Amino acid sequence: MRRTSLPWPSANATYKAAVASAMLATSCTSTPAPVVADPGPPVPVVEHVQVQEILTPLPLRVRLPARYGAQHVLVFVLMWGTHEWKVMELDREGQAWSGEVSCREVSTVTGDTRYFFLALDSAGQPVVSSGSSEWPHVATIVRNLPGGAQSLPGEFRPLRCHDPADCPPDFPGCPAYAVARPACTSHSQCSSGACEWDGYCAPMPKDTGIQTVQLGSDDERLAAAVRDVTRRYQAAAASSRRFF
């Protein structure tokens, strides 16, 4: 009886090929690792600069624990010398929401800018808030800072808008103005009571015969703004559910 054995080199090559084939099959059928959702910070974190130069954006960032179920984060902003809380929605990335008050909104008027933050769930219901009209988050606007414009940790330094003094009315390449408007640096310098972002007074409102309505306190105006915005988000959420 004759016995024939494969030479060692051929047997070794066959073994390696079998192992490689098995490993390839295993890699193709293996289950990918589950994606871990961002749990967010253990407690809510609100970040904003405490002081900023005129004509420079005010950066904002809010981080929330995932357990709150927040879908939208809104910031209500009250600029110095104004009576209206303006609202903006921050952009979301994971459990962080960020945005900025534009340099045009900041304008050349110095003073305190106040914030109130409100988080809503997917149904438009409030889940957490931070700040109040009496104890708000504050950023003070000044003419210049020794260290230049301020930014949040890990972010680039914001760019400053052009100075309105460098672009007067009727100057070539500058926006045209329909009416003459006095230059200003504060609301008190304007007959209309409003110094706009470009450094010129807003025109006087036309007399329509409508009586001026008493706006109430800052707290009342903020509460009214929160109610109005919350209702709109709740209505949008309810309308969306009807289509699915």
Tens digit of pLDDT for each residue in 144-173?
999 999 999 999 999 998 776 676 656 655
Asked, for residue 57, whether it belongs to a domain, the answer is yes
pLDDT in tens, 22-79: 555 555 555 665 656 789 999 999 999 999 999 999 999 999 999 999 999 999 999 9
Same domain, 111 and 178: no
Residues of the domain holding 195: 162-205
Query: Whole-angstrom Cα distance, residue 68 to residue 127?
Result: 6
Asked, for residue 214, whether it belongs to a domain, the answer is no
- Total number of domains in the chain: 2
Q: What is the pTM of this model?
A: 0.69
Same domain, 100 and 197: no
φ/ψ of residue 66, rounded to 5: -65, -25
Q: Is the dihedral of CA 110, 53, 217, 228 positive or negative?
A: positive
Nearest to 114 by CA among 96, 91, 87: 87
Same domain, 60 and 136: yes
